[in-house]
Amino acid sequence: MTTVYLIRHAEAEGNVYRRCHGQYDSLLTERAYQQLPYLADRFADVPLDAIYASDLYRARHTAKAIADRKGIKVHVRPVLREIAMGEWEDKTWAILPREAPEQYAKWQTRPWECEVPGGERVLDTGDRVLGGLRQLAQEWDGKSIAVVSHGSAIRGILCRVLGYEPEQIGQVGWGDNTCVAKFEFDGDTIRPIYWNDASHLPEDLSTFAKIGWTNSRGVPMSVQAWFRPYDPESAEDRALLIGFAREFYRNAYGSTNMLDEDAWMADTDAMAAKHDRAVTIGMVEDRPVALVRMNVCDESEPEIGKVGSFVISEDYRGTGLSGQILGQAISVYRALGKDYLCAYVAKNNARAHGFYDKYGFHNQGEVMKAEGLHDKMVKKIKVESVAEESDDFIWEG
């Protein structure tokens, strides 16, 4: 008999940025690194003969937290990956009902039937990863191992192991980040002991609890945005962006006195002309609520993508959109091959400093701009491959 602890990875970018990250490789969040010590503590006194993970960054670095405590290395196998989401990879969840309403409705109501072009079905994913677990159980017969995988893959596995019909997959539920399932593999028999157990996490570190909170206006934290390109030919869009620019200057500098609207719009048009996602408007349903303006024209530091402006409408501040606008910026600059994201933050802009601190930006010095002294806030966005981290992981592809 082999004991297998199956673990969902810690909180990752897609969970917070509200983007579809199947096999898209993304980083863990700041909260994840608060969750991981609790996960490692849970396994501190649990005998483990080996630790395995999917080759995706979020899974293998979750496994590394347990392995480091044990003084061993993580074995990496691609068969343990999350569901492939094909054409949906790295799109916002909010755009999908607009672009693919029938498929998205099926994903929401009959997920076992949904297959995105270029992707997998959830139960096929479960079968793939379960096959990988069976192989590991044979290799480690009589031992105990931990395996870190992903949410949809684990749902598919649980549906099979619990003996549910495909249409009963909703009864499996969703396990929170770092949740644990325990199985006993005995020949062809798999006995589920428990599953979706995240009791090691304090509530304030639960991803699910965070998404479920509301702000002071009672607006759900799970409000989700999609992003459309700014249209320079649209008078309505130009007026909208001027409104965002004024709001940005009022928030950053206390007034709009230093805003040259013509110059700001000329810069914006140049950014939009250089890249089709450089200037995007965040939408909640059909209402414009945010601006993500990337200064792709600034190539003074080739490895760094520069933020031009982040703005959220006052009515939607505190509703969870801050992570989503950051996720949009990271999506753009990661696709352009940038390793870092940089924003210049006015010294006295406490709210902006709070935002960048929350999302793991670090101050790398001061910069004098026309509007005054700014801090240079920088965040790493590069996702290292297994090959780049070969000292920490054992590849078993």
Among residues 219, 381, 227, 387, which one has the least CA distance to residue 307? 381
The answer to whether 74 and 53 are in contact (CB under 8 A) is yes
- 3-state class (DSSP) for residue 372: strand
Reported as a pLDDT band with limits 50, 70 and 90, residue 174 is confident
The model's pTM: 0.93
The token pair at 27 is 């980083």
Average pLDDT, integer, range 302-320: 93
- 3-state class (DSSP) for residue 4: strand
Helix-strand-coil split of the chain, %, nearest 5: 40, 25, 35
Helix axes 57-70, 30-42, angle to 10 degrees: 40
The total number of residues shown for the chain amounts to 397
Phi, psi values for residue 269, rounded to 5° = -60, -40
**Can you tell me the distance from the alpha carbon of 383 to that of 389, in angstroms, rounded to the nearest whole number?**
11
The token pair at 225 is 């945005």
Among residues 287, 270, 288, which one has the least CA distance to residue 279? 270
Evaluate if residue 221 carries a pLDDT over 70. no
Whether 226-380 and 2-212 are alike in CATH topology: the answer is no
In the chain, domain spans: 2-212, 226-380
Which residue pairs, CB below 8 angstroms and at least 24 apart, start in 238-242? 238/265, 240/281, 240/288, 241/265, 241/268, 241/279, 241/291
Does the active-site annotation cover 82? yes
Identify the pLDDT of residue 33.
97
The answer to whether 281 and 240 are in contact (CB under 8 A) is yes
Catalytic residue among 9, 21, 61, 150: 9
CATH H-level superfamily of 226-380: Gcn5-related N-acetyltransferase (GNAT) (3.40.630.30)
Evaluate if residue 89 carries a pLDDT over 90. yes
Evaluate if residue 94 carries a pLDDT over 70. yes
Average pLDDT, integer, range 9-30: 96
Does the active-site annotation cover 275? no
Catalytic residue among 11, 13, 82, 120: 82
- 3-state class (DSSP) for residue 3: strand
**Can you tell me the distance from the alpha carbon of 191 to that of 162, in angstroms, rounded to the nearest whole number?**
9
Residues ≥6 apart with Cβ < 8 Å to 389: none
**CATH architecture classification, 2-212:** 3-Layer(aba) Sandwich (3.40)
Identify the pLDDT of residue 209.
82
Of residues 380 and 171, the one with the higher pLDDT is 380
Q: Which position has the token pair 């601190």?
A: 357
Q: Mean pLDDT in the chain?
A: 94
Evaluate if residue 220 carries a pLDDT over 80. no
Query: What region does 36 belong to: left with phi over 0, alpha with psi -120 to 50, or beta?
Result: alpha
Among residues 155, 146, 171, which one has the least CA distance to residue 83? 155
Q: Which position has the token pair 């199956």?
A: 6
Average pLDDT, integer, range 217-240: 84
Identify the pLDDT of residue 212.
61
Among residues 175, 235, 220, which one has the least CA distance to residue 10? 175
